[in-house]
Amino acid sequence: MLTFIGLGIIVAIVALLLTERVTPIIALSMVPLIGAFIAGFGIGDIAGFFESGLQDVTDVAVMFIFAILFFGVLQDVGLFDPLINRVVALTRGNVVAVTMGTGVIGTIGHLDGSGASTFLISVPALLPLYQRLRMSPYLLLLIVSASIGIMNLVPWAGPIGRAAAVTNLNPTDLWRDLLPVQIAGFVLLMIFAALLGLREQRRIAKLPADTSRPDSSEVVADAENGKALPKRFWLNLAIAIATIGVLASGLLPPAYIFMIALGVVLLANYPKPSEQMERIKAHAAGALMMASIISAAGAFLGILSGTGMLESIATDLAQVLPQPLVPYLHLVIGAFGVPLDMLTSTDAYYFALLPVVEHVASTQGIAPESVIYAMTIGNNVGKMISPFSPAMWLALGLAGAEMGRHIRYSFLLLWLFSLVMLAFAFLIGLL
């Protein structure tokens, strides 16, 4: 009975998230409550489950709030603008250099872990250059999406934060193990971008001449004129580097690191309290939304775990699945992570599918970290071809592109990119 009710809760939440009938907060908080009542648990039991689940995710939720505020302020003070202008200027209108530069800009732009801000930084900056060189805007979206897939493994981005909340592991510890994968992913991205640039160069060479288009030197000149550094650039860069360095060292809890870093960057750039509050208010909506979803997920996981539903589902699933497949279930799910991301939202993938796979894997003695790495690396790159990604719709609007064409253009290439990263993680012993 617990298995059927637990599966019913998961299916209902996934269906609600896919159809977008309610917000993730409503789905994650209300559906498990109804399921717990059906299973015969009382108000006192459910209150205990909620408190236990919320306690498990509090650190991650607080980290998200201050990380989003911190990187939002860094964006406000223009820390990333000179870096992007410099990359555009260095390309000098060479197609291969432009594609590789796109990968660099996408990587820099996603330091804050926000897909929306990454597209807002990269697409307007690079689209005019792509248009003047007659390059496809879908190539721009493809390369930036791959960049996001690499950088989204940082602990203040969504996937690792969600996975940490589900498994009650430290997101910084998870990230430290994933750093080699990110480094290898960036090298792969440069090779990937160069090959795509050569392919695009051949395609452009076959096009008829078009004298109506202005020369690409105009965009390059604009970027060169924007070389002037914003106020306190070096100070803000030092704050950003020091923050990431302390985070990687594990000297302090991640939430406290970002809390301190936010205070430092606000004092350094906005001496007046009114200005500081204005910057916090400007980014508060995004920070609170993510923290709210994580908190609601704590209630969901607390109920499924406290009632014994997760354990029951895992035990029964392990008995139903072909025995040779069970020890490799997390690897299979990871390998199909990109197509799965087109069928499930990010919240459904991490809050509904990951706990079940992790519990099944635990019956075979597989560490939860291995399950997280397989499912996160395998799925992450596909995030930006999913129709359930709001950031992707923003990018399509900025580029004047269509979702269907973007999926056809990018799907197989991003899936291949994901599989190569997954293979590297396997070779270095993460899986």
Q: For the segment 364-409, what is each residue's pLDDT rounded down to a tens digit?
A: 888 889 999 998 898 888 778 876 666 777 677 778 788 778 888 9
Q: Is 223 helix (H, G, I), strand (E, B) or coil?
A: helix
Q: How far apart are CA 182 and CA 177, in angstroms?
A: 10
134: number of Cβ within 10 Å: 14
Highest mean pLDDT among 211-215, 224-228, 278-282: 278-282
Q: What is the CA radius of gyration of the chain?
A: 22
Looking at this protein, which amino acid is placed at residue 1?
Answer: M
First-to-final CA distance of the chain: 33
Residue-wise DSSP of 228-272: SPPTTHHHHHHHHHHHHHHHHHTSS-HHHHHHHHHHHHHHHH--S
The answer on pLDDT for 221 being more than 90 is: no
- For residue 286, what pLDDT is reported? 74
Pick the residue with more confidence: 90 or 266? 266
Residue-wise DSSP of 331-363: HHHHHTHHHHHTTS-HHHIIIIIHHHHHHHHHT
**Would you place residue 77 in the very low, low, confident or very high pLDDT band (cuts 50, 70, 90)?**
confident
Q: How far apart are CA 47 and CA 44, in angstroms?
A: 5
Q: How far apart are CA 293 and CA 61, in angstroms?
A: 9
Assign residue 376 a region (left: φ > 0; alpha: ψ between -120 and 50; beta: otherwise). alpha
> Which pair of tokens denotes residue 66?
């201050």
pTM: 0.66
Q: How far apart are CA 294 and CA 24, in angstroms?
A: 10
- For residue 264, what pLDDT is reported? 94
Q: How far apart are CA 184 and CA 16, in angstroms?
A: 37
Q: Per residue in 333-358, pLDDT tens?
A: 888 888 877 666 676 678 777 888 88
Residue with tokens 């750093």: 179
The answer on pLDDT for 214 being more than 80 is: no
Residue 77 CB-half CA count within 13 A:
25
Q: Per residue in 97-138, pLDDT tens?
A: 889 989 988 888 787 677 766 776 777 777 777 877 788 999
Q: How far apart are CA 283 and CA 305, in angstroms?
A: 33
CB 327 within 8 A of CB 431: no
| Mean pLDDT computed over 78-85 | 72
| Mean pLDDT computed over 246-256 | 78
Q: Per residue in 280-317, pLDDT tens?
A: 998 888 778 777 877 887 888 788 878 888 777 766 76
Q: Per residue in 131-189, pLDDT tens?
A: 777 889 999 999 999 999 898 888 877 788 888 878 888 888 888 889 999 999 999 99
Pick the residue with more confidence: 222 or 423? 423
- Give the chain's mean pLDDT: 82
Closest CA to 45 of 308, 313, 352, 356: 308
| Mean pLDDT computed over 20-39 | 86
- For residue 105, what pLDDT is reported? 85
Burial group, residue 271, by CB count within 10 angstroms (0-12, 13-18, 19+) = exposed
